[in-house]
């Protein structure tokens, strides 16, 4: 699967929320997330633990590849269950690169997911994700993201090229997992 995504500083959460409401976006959920990033050779891999509106969700692994650029970009990704991640990456210990904890307010505007993130130790950020489908090609996704970015300009800051894992000091964070030790 692939999407077009964009990440930037969020300078005024209340203003961003007001703009999203004015645009007719729908607030979907408040999500508490803990992402454990693993050091793997061919991609980025994170284990996501989440509570949606206070309710635990099944653990999932997200494998993705994207350029580190501070503009809208294509991300190719796959969402794996714990079983699929163990089958693909084995039960040996994967080195942990970083752990990122955040509160995400998820909004939807048409087919674009809007994330208002409060990341522990980093601050506030906004992300757009427009999923590429046969009905919504890459060019259309880039256009939708650009429209939303323009509408939210009063509330946002600079574009961000890096992953949250890189920003929290992802290099050499230590720790271990066996795709969490085969879930202990």
Q: What is the mean pLDDT of the chain?
A: 91
Task: Report angle CA 120, 125, 131 to the nearest 5 degrees.
Answer: 120
pLDDT band at 170 (very low <50, low <70, confident <90, very high): low
pLDDT of amino acid 178: 34
CA pair distance 153, 122, nearest whole angstrom: 21
Q: Report the topology of domain 2-171.
A: Hypothetical Protein Pfu-838710-001 (2.40.320)
Backbone φ, ψ for residue 121 (5° rounding): 85, -5
Q: What is the mean pLDDT of residues 96-111?
A: 97
The pLDDT tens digits of the residues spanning 135-160 come to 999 999 999 999 999 999 999 999 99
pLDDT of amino acid 87: 85
Tokens 């999932």 belong to residue: 60
Which residues make beta-bridge pairs with 46? 37, 62
- Check pLDDT > 70 for residue 102: yes
Structure tokens that stand for 116 in this block? 């208002």
pTM score, whole prediction: 0.88
CA of residue 10 relative to chain centroid, distance: 15
User: Who has greater pLDDT, 93 or 126?
Assistant: 126
The pLDDT tens digits of the residues spanning 43-68 come to 899 999 999 999 999 999 999 999 99
Structure tokens that stand for 122 in this block? 């980093």
pLDDT band at 175 (very low <50, low <70, confident <90, very high): very low
């Amino acid at each position: 699967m692939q999407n077009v995504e964009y990440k930037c500083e969020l300078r005024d959460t209340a203003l961003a929320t007001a703009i999203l409401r004015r645009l007719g976006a729908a607030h979907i959920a408040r999500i508490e997330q803990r992402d454990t990033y693993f050091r793997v050779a061919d991609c980025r891999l994170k284990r996501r633990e989440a509570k949606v509106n206070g309710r635990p969700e099944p653990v999932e692994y997200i494998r993705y590849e994207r350029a580190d650029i501070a503009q809208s970009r294509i991300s190719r990704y796959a969402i794996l269950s714990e079983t699929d991640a163990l089958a693909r990456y084995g039960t040996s210990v994967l080195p942990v690169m970083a752990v990122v904890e955040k509160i995400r307010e998820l909004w939807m505007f048409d087919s674009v997911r809007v994330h208002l993130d409060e990341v522990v130790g980093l601050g506030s950020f906004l992300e757009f994700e427009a999923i590429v489908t046969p009905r919504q090609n890459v060019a259309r996704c880039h256009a939708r993201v650009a429209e939303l970015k323009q509408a939210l300009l009063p509330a946002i800051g600079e574009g961000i090229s890096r992953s949250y894992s890189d920003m929290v000091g992802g290099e050499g964070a230590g720790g271990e997992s066996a795709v969490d030790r085969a879930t202990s």
